[in-house]
């Protein structure tokens, strides 16, 4: 077997094992939380009688272990079940939420990744001079401010004062692509500012590291412009750590944007998950948790594989 294929197979198997472990952790976590789904649905006004009726209907009177295994059995067959709280099919409602989350993450990545890499290259080109310092200062400042605050500030100035973009980013199927992009303008801006610094700094550091090498000197000596040197010779050799960071940030864009979703009322997975955690709706929490874990594991796997492929020493191990 080709060593690369073997590697991918190994990683995949490990990933599935990790997912299984994650599902156990999530289930255990939801069991530890105080209260249960019946109590949360009926709220303060629940009578013991109504509670007992609801628990029975939802099958909560069965022991936790047997509930876990019956869930696992169905999940392995692709059936994530129905939400305990509103009886909707999880696959269906989760599907549209996941689509929205990926939509937001995609557009944020489309803006942020090229911008970060370009700014990183620019910073190297003008290192230790004012463009480098300005780029670093701005991106570091924006990563240091909590994202909800950036959200509120943009909302107030861009949304309320200037009226350039809507403050509520609710999107739905009947909207055209243009309307959707207009709606998500502010959350994309916030997410871009949050993930920019990490990727930009990594690009800068990785390339500067390579710039010390002898072949860069050669490239300079043969008369290439400094940007060509960076772009053609330094960047390909620095790509592994950059891809790693980009993947980490992409994973963040999918799994870590709960706060931005809440602030901009964006109907994505994060909000969906939080709603169901607070209602103790275990099947939905499990399903969301699995998807988040899968995205995280998957993107990290891609990062690993890309960095191995990009490095001949790792590609052809002795």
Partner 1 sequence: MSKELEFLSKRVAQSKMSRRDFMGRASALGVSSAAATAMLSTAAMAEGPKKGGMIKLGMNGGASTDTLDPGLVASQATQNALRHWSDTLVNASPTGELDMRIAESIDSSPDAKTWHFNIRQGVEFHNGKTVTAEDAMKTIERHSNEESKSGALGIVKGIESMAVSGNTLSITLDTPNADLPYLLADYHLAIQPNGGMDDPNAGIGTGPFTVEVNEPGIRYGFKKFANHWDESIGHVDESELLIINDATARMAALQSGQVHMVNGVDPKVAGLLDRAPGLSVKNVSGRGHYVFIMHTDTAPFDNKDLRLALKYAINREEMVDKILRGYGGVGNDMPINASYPLFDDSIPQRAYDPEKAAEHYKASGHDGSPIILRVADAAFPGAVDAAQLFQQSAAAAGIPLEIKREPNDGYWSEVWNKQPFCASYWGGRPVQDQMYSTAYLSTADWNDTRFNNAKFDELLGQAKAELDPAKRKALYSQMGNIVRDDGGVICPMFNDFIDAVSDKVAGFEPDPNGEMMANFAPSRVWLA
Q: In whole angstroms, how close is the CB of 268 to partner 1 at the nearest point?
A: 10
Q: Are 163 and 135 in contact (CB under 8 A)?
A: no
Which of 69, 118, 172, 227 contacts partner 1 by CB under 8 A?
Answer: 172
Segment contacting partner 1 (CB under 8 A): 29-37, 102-110, 131-139, 303-311? 29-37
Q: Which of 222, 289, 220 is nearest to 23 (CA)?
A: 289
Rounded Cα distance, 42 and 49, in Å: 11
Q: In whole angstroms, how close is the CB of 157 to partner 1 at the nearest point?
A: 11
Rounded Cα distance, 114 and 259, in Å: 24
Q: In whole angstroms, how close is the CB of 45 to partner 1 at the nearest point?
A: 5
For the chain, how big is the Rg over CA atoms in Å? 24
Q: In whole angstroms, how close is the CB of 53 to partner 1 at the nearest point?
A: 5
CB-count exposure of residue 13 (10 Å: 0-12, 13-18, 19+): exposed
Q: In whole angstroms, how close is the CB of 25 to partner 1 at the nearest point?
A: 18
User: Which residue carries 């500012």 as its tokens?
Assistant: 193
Segment contacting partner 1 (CB under 8 A): 11-19, 127-135, 157-165, 189-197? 157-165
Which of 5, 34, 312, 316 contacts partner 1 by CB under 8 A?
Answer: 34
Checking 229-234 for CB contacts under 8 A at 24+ apart, the result is: 230/121, 230/124, 230/125, 231/121, 234/124, 234/207, 234/210
Restricting to residues 222-281, name those near partner 1 by CB under 8 A: 262-265, 267, 271-272, 275-276, 278-279, 281
Rounded Cα distance, 247 and 111, in Å: 15
x/- contact string, 46-65, with partner 1 (CB under 8 A)?
Answer: xxxxxx-xx--x--------
Which of 24, 25, 168, 314 contacts partner 1 by CB under 8 A?
Answer: 168
x/- contact string, 190-229, with partner 1 (CB under 8 A)?
Answer: ----------------------------------------
Decide whether 90 or 199 has the Cβ nearer to partner 1.
90
83 belongs to the binding site for partner 1 (CB under 8 A): yes
Rounded Cα distance, 52 and 30, in Å: 20
160 belongs to the binding site for partner 1 (CB under 8 A): yes
Q: In whole angstroms, how close is the CB of 165 to partner 1 at the nearest point?
A: 9
Q: In whole angstroms, how close is the CB of 261 to partner 1 at the nearest point?
A: 10
Decide whether 120 or 267 has the Cβ nearer to partner 1.
267
Rounded Cα distance, 193 and 245, in Å: 15
Decide whether 4 or 64 has the Cβ nearer to partner 1.
64
Q: In whole angstroms, how close is the CB of 262 to partner 1 at the nearest point?
A: 5
Q: In whole angstroms, how close is the CB of 272 to partner 1 at the nearest point?
A: 5
CA 167 to chain CA centroid, Å, is: 22
153 belongs to the binding site for partner 1 (CB under 8 A): no
Q: Which residues bind partner 1 (CB under 8 A)?
A: 33-36, 39-51, 53-54, 57, 83, 85-88, 93, 97, 152, 155-156, 159-160, 163, 166-168, 170, 172, 262-265, 267, 271-272, 275-276, 278-279, 281
């Amino acid at each position: 077997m080709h060593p690369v294929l073997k590697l991918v197979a190994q990683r995949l198997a490990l990933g599935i094992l990790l997912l299984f472990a994650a599902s156990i952790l999530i289930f255990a976590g939801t069991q530890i939380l105080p209260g249960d789904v019946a109590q949360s649905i009926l709220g303060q006004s629940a009578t013991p009688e109504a509670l007992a009726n609801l628990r029975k209907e939802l099958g909560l009177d069965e022991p936790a272990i047997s509930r876990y295994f019956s869930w696992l059995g169905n999940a392995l067959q692709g059936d994530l079940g129905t939400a305990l709280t509103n009886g909707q099919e999880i696959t269906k409602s989760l599907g549209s939420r996941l689509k929205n989350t990926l939509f937001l993450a995609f557009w944020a990545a489309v803006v942020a990744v090229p911008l970060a890499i370009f700014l990183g290259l620019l910073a190297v080109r003008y290192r230790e001079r004012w463009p480098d310092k300005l780029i670093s200062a701005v991106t570091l400042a924006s990563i240091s401010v909590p994202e909800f605050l950036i959200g509120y500030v943009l909302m107030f100035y861009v949304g309320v004062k200037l009226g350039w973009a809507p403050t509520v980013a609710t999107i739905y199927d009947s909207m055209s692509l243009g309307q959707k992009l207009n709606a998500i303008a502010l959350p994309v801006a916030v997410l871009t500012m949050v993930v920019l610094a990490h990727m930009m700094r990594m690009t800068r550091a990785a390339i500067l590291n390579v710039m010390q090498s002898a072949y860069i000197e050669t490239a300079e000596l043969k008369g290439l412009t400094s940007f060509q040197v960076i772009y053609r010779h330094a960047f390909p050799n620095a790509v592994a750590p950059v891809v790693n960071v980009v993947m980490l940030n992409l994973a963040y864009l999918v799994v870590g944007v709960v706060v931005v979703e809440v602030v901009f009322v964006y109907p994505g997975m994060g909000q969906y998950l939080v709603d169901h955690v607070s209602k103790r709706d275990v099947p939905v929490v499990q399903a969301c948790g699995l998807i988040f874990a899968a995205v995280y594991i998957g993107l990290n796997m891609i990062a690993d594989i890309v960095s191995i492929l990009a490095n001949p020493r790792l590609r052809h191990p002795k």
